[in-house]
Chains A and B, each alone.
Chain A
């Protein structure tokens, strides 16, 4: 036992000075972060590009980003719920129902677009309030409450849509939510602004740590982090700024609004979970609910608000999906929407066991699932194959989660 513990100690000596050292330490602790999924993404991109050279073209990648925006948005909420150690099976149905509310209010009741959109999101939030209240107060497992929600809101969707079963969205403000393209210059301004803000935040923290005489990461690591974020962001914007309709007029270029909205939600919720008191408490409740309670954290409040946020984000995703398709119909939010949203969170690296994960896993996981679906569409493979491959990827991701978890547990004490 002593031998074991002293061995663990020597393993833990921080070795942040070298990149390989940090990496080796993380592998040993079972704390891989986004590394497996990034490698997976690279593999997927290479394979599909080799099979069909349209995969890595600006048109296709822009389409891909637009396709995953709605599911990814729902998945941001799923990540929050998973961080608590709970699950929400109703997000698909809630996304469809909230979109239907917006559609009916806008098209049938002639509400102004903004009001209709707000109403859809508020309805989503209220559903989350109800379900979260039920889960936190009556101690009914979230699995069951949200399963009941899945059925109930599916029914409510059919009811709201009425006999026609489809509402076509006509208000340009609503359809532009997903489909409008950002002017190229604005895309660059927003992208550069975001990267600049990120760099500023990191540098300021570096400065403060140095003056507080705390250990700081090497300048190389700092530069690498900023450089990678800048590279990824500017590459995406550059890609979407290329004319996607080169042979005919008019030129099609710019970042789709759906992608902008998704990106903003990712950044906001990553900040909330990583830097704000609320986020810290979400992790605490997911890690050890009894410890959180004894630390004076309002556990019930945290749980209810996370379910509210998840449902409100599901509503946003549903509205984006409706906007992209110019319609809300009986199948909105059904089918594989729920499964993809949950699978994306898990594939992206958020643990099913609570307390571990990043908001970014919503993007990474949605990219994996989206790329597979998109790539197979390019190859004209039937959906039977698509489902089976996505299933296999999900299994692989959950296995990585379970294995690293048990590694973490056997590694200590």
Chain B
């Protein structure tokens, strides 16, 4: 798997906030058809790394490489233009709008007669596409015209994920997708993540829940104190090893664990 070109690669990324070195020379890569879990303790630099990938932060140094080509990302829309979508923990859904409106928010289908703001929305076409996408992803909601306010947490998460992948995206970043969910809904979201992989996407999952990480991921990248300290093939590792890397107290990870 690792002989291929990663769909998205970051090389030697550093980012400093005032006196805090949030990221130091971090490499990161995700391949197509792969789920990478990004784990680490609070303050390890996971969020900074994800926001850098999403285009919300500009790194102080380092390269952003998409499909083997250097890319210049200075704002989130640059990343989405490449096909890199992010689902933040707060989901960024409008509770008062229905599922279709949320899936298409900011990218509505419509007929143009004059200026863009006066476009007449094509609700039928949007509903048709929304229904198709949700069916493909096996997302079960009562109706695509239900307001988000009336959906469960798992359904909301699924809608947010569907929105991220329906625009021909190549890489999806999921920030703590199961943190606020119950057991059954967590299961639904994990199934969804696996389905994204089988659609050929590169999926990056940030999670604190190692059980979930082991269930869905192919590789696990561990961050600690702003550095990437370890990488595991999920199939060939144990949670003890991963926890040791996260905390930095396990004997076998001292050498490449850098400054503790």
Contacts and interface: CB of A to CB of B under 8 A. Distances in A.
B142 A13 contact: yes
Contacts of B143: 12, 14, 215
B116 A277 contact: yes
Contacts of A215: 143
A413 B147 CA distance: 13
B120 A287 contact: no
B182 A281 contact: no
Contacts of B93: 288, 291
Contact of B184 (A2, A284, A294, A413): A2
Nearest to A297: B106
Interface residues of A, number: 45
Interface in A7-23: 8-9, 12-14
Interface stretch (B43-51, B149-157, B231-239, B246-254): B149-157
A294 B128 CA distance: 24
Contacts of B94: 283-284, 287-288, 291-292, 355
A17 to B, nearest CB: 13
Interface stretch (B7-15, B31-39, B95-103, B193-201): B95-103
B96 A295 contact: no
A149 interface: no
Which of B117, B151, B185 is the most central at the interface, judged by chain A CB atoms within 10 Å of its CB?
B117
A185 to B, nearest CB: 31
B183 interface: yes
Interface in B151-193: 151-154, 182-185
Given A12-B150, A412-B151, A291 B92 contact: yes
Which of B95, B120, B154 is the most central at the interface, judged by chain A CB atoms within 10 Å of its CB?
B95
A278 B118 contact: yes
A412 B154 CA distance: 12
Which of A29, A212, A295 is the most central at the interface, judged by chain B CB atoms within 10 Å of its CB?
A295
A290 B92 CA distance: 7
A276 interface: yes
B112 to A, nearest CB: 9
B110 interface: yes
A356 B128 contact: no
A87 to B, nearest CB: 17
B142 to A, nearest CB: 4
B211 interface: no
B127 interface: yes
Given A1-B182, A287-B94, A291-B94, A214 B128 contact: yes
Interface string B113-156: 00011111101110110010000000000110011011111100
A411 interface: yes
Contacts, number: 120
Nearest to B185: A5
Given A280-B101, A295-B92, A208 B117 contact: no
B147 A31 contact: yes
B77 A296 contact: yes
Interface in A267-322: 272, 275-278, 280-281, 283-284, 286-288, 290-292, 294-297, 305
A14 B91 CA distance: 25
A408 interface: yes
B244 interface: no
B120 A276 contact: yes
A209 interface: yes
Contacts of B151: 412
B71 interface: no
Contacts of A291: 91-94, 105
B92 A277 contact: no
A213 B124 CA distance: 10
Contacts of A377: none
A305 B128 CA distance: 31
Interface residues of B, number: 43
Contact of A297 (B76, B95, B105): B105
Contact of A412 (B92, B121, B152): B152
A73 B123 CA distance: 28
B101 to A, nearest CB: 6
Nearest to B143: A14
A176 B152 CA distance: 55
B117 A412 contact: no
A212 B146 CA distance: 19
A63 B235 CA distance: 80
B63 interface: no
Contacts of B118: 272, 276-278
Interface in A52-77: none
Contacts of A8: 150, 152
B108 A277 contact: yes
A297 B101 CA distance: 13
Contacts of A336: none
B108 A413 contact: no
Contact of A278 (B106, B117, B183): B117
B41 interface: no
Contact of B142 (A9, A272, A294): A9
B124 A9 contact: no
- In the A-B complex, the 9 residue pairs with the smallest Cβ-Cβ separation, listed nearest first, are A295-B106, A287-B94, A355-B96, A12-B142, A287-B96, A291-B92, A278-B117, A295-B105, A296-B106
Interface of A: 1-2, 5, 8-9, 12-14, 29, 31, 205, 208-209, 212-215, 272, 275-278, 280-281, 283-284, 286-288, 290-292, 294-297, 305, 354-356, 408-409, 411-413
28 contacts: A5-B153, A5-B184, A12-B142, A13-B142, A14-B142, A29-B150, A212-B125, A272-B118, A275-B123, A276-B118, A276-B120, A277-B116, A278-B118, A284-B101, A284-B105, A288-B92, A288-B95, A291-B91, A292-B105, A294-B76, A295-B92, A297-B105, A305-B117, A355-B96, A408-B150, A412-B149, A412-B150, A413-B152
